[in-house]
Amino acid sequence: MSKEMLINSVQGEECRVAVVDNKKLDELYIERASLVSHVGNMYKGKIVNIEPSIQAAFIDFGLAKNGFLHISDVHPKYLSGKADKSEKIGRRQSLSKRPPIQRCLKKGQELIVQVTKEGIGTKGPTLTTYLSLPGKHIVMMPGMSKVGVSQKIEDEDERKRLKKIIDSLELPKDFGFIIRTAAIGATKRSLRNDVNYLTRLWKAIRKKMETSKAPAEIYKESDLVIRTIRDVFTSSISKIVCDSEIVSKKARDFLSIIQPRLKRRVIYYDGKTPLFHKYGIEQEITNIQSSRVELNCGGSLVIEQTEALVAIDVNSGRYRKHENAEATAHKTNMEAAKEIVRQLKLRDLGGLIVCDFIDMRDRKNKRQVEQIFRDELKSDRARSKALRMSAFGLIEVTRQRMRPSLQSTTYLKCPRCGGKGIIKNLESQSLELMRTLNLAVARGDIKRIEMLVEPDVASFMLNENRAAITQIETQSDKQILIKGDPNVLGDDFKIDCFNERGSKVQFMG
């Protein structure tokens, strides 16, 4: 069964694009008006600070947070001071041969940058001065030279065919080109159209570079629908179903420019049942928010995100069809390897990922699970690298973080637990608060203590600890008042101390 692309658009609020393979969600992209992506945008920025200790510069390019530019992302023309300096595709100058950033750049200097990664948490966006303009089949890179072919095009004959076509075209000088995976099977005419389109686009960008004053936006990437059709849509996708007439027309118009023969694959859906419900996608989206993923064989995955890494544990669950443990583990791990990669794509998980598979003794079985895992990663647009399975059944993966994870853009940290998922029980909280009260009454200048805690904690203390509180008041000749406040959540509390004159005394519990 062929693939389908589904586009659900709520004008001015949210756009969701799902790629469905055999009625199963394979890829999901979400963009909201409040969280518009800046990746791919070009800006004229100004250096506000240079940090030699981390060999990086911080750039003011017009957004709330300054961008981060590492020395490895500084183009040779800035290193040498020569505007026409270029570099070969795939042959970027090594870090050891680059001069210190403080010798190349200076505070207040203006430069053209492109966002490569959104800011996450307190970190600002990651920037580069290696500019790139993506088309449907090729990527054009100003200030570079030579032509490269995507490593994901593994067929050697196809690589040679595409390289030959590009070499036969009249390419603009001082530009490098990368042939994208989407170019497989592309005609000479399609590639020529791409080159012409990108050349015209670059001329418009150059004009804006010369007339704009930093900080300023020079080039803005297309919206989610156009980006996804450009980067993901191939002839293997049988149709694009869209529930918005305006977006349908936009998609059809874009395809008429880049792939006119396929524009009829755009279909406007006007059914009463919401599009994602009709295809069963809403339930799948709900499932990928859960930390537990059930496998068809009866096993399961448990996915936990931490600050440093993502941990994925494979459990055999109720799967017991085979007579021996090795066969059970092998069967479960084979399905888990495929599902893990699917979850990485759907959840936008990046950084260091550790996958804990069920232990297997047979080396052949281990290699087979490894191979399936690597084969599945080939379909992922993000760059990734997987190590061999360790003696303990672990596979370590590093995956390019394309954008903030789906979880971080959908959920807020729980105000009660601060994102930990657990809070102390009432007894533990009351014991800690009693210790704080004892510390406060030990101060000679404190006469009255008022403590605000969560209502349940206040109720527990005023019942279970009433005798202890009364004893402290009697022995110290001081007044203690405990109140429940619905605005105080979880383990938090607020303590105010006063002296004999009723003036507030500073106290750090």
Architecture of domain 3-36+223-282: 2-Layer Sandwich (3.30)
CATH no. for 426-505: 3.40.1260.20
Going residue by residue through the chain, which has 509 residues, state the pLDDT in tens, using 9 for 90 and above: 478 999 998 876 788 999 998 888 988 988 887 677 888 999 999 999 999 999 999 999 988 889 999 999 999 888 876 666 677 887 787 888 888 999 889 999 999 999 998 887 778 899 999 999 998 889 999 988 888 888 888 889 999 999 999 989 888 888 999 998 888 888 888 888 889 989 999 999 999 998 888 899 999 988 889 888 888 888 888 999 999 999 999 999 988 887 888 889 999 999 889 999 998 888 888 888 888 999 988 889 999 988 789 999 999 876 566 667 888 899 999 999 999 999 999 888 888 999 999 999 999 999 999 999 999 998 888 889 999 999 999 999 999 876 666 776 677 778 778 777 788 899 999 999 999 999 999 998 999 999 999 999 999 999 999 999 999 999 999 999 999 999 988 888 999 999 999 899 888 76
Residue 404, both tokens: 């903030």
**What is 199-243 written as a DSSP string?**
HHHHHHHHHHHHH--SSEEEE----HHHHHHHHT--TTEEEEEES
Tokens 């969280």 locate to 35
Distance CA 29, CA 373 (A): 23
Q: Where are the domains of the chain?
A: 3-36+223-282, 41-219, 290-410, 426-505
Please state the CATH superfamily assignment of the domain spanning residues 41-219 in this structure.
Nucleic acid-binding proteins (2.40.50.140)
Residue 299, both tokens: 């096993």
Backbone dihedral region for residue 121 (phi beyond 0: left; psi -120 to 50: alpha; all else: beta): left
pLDDT at residue 402, rounded to an integer: 67
**What is 302-352 written as a DSSP string?**
EEEE-SSEEEEEEE-TT---SSSHHHHHHHHHHHHHHHHHHHHHHHT--EE
Long-range contacts of 210-213 (CB under 8 A, 24+ apart): 212/44, 213/44
Residue 34 DSSP SS3:
helix
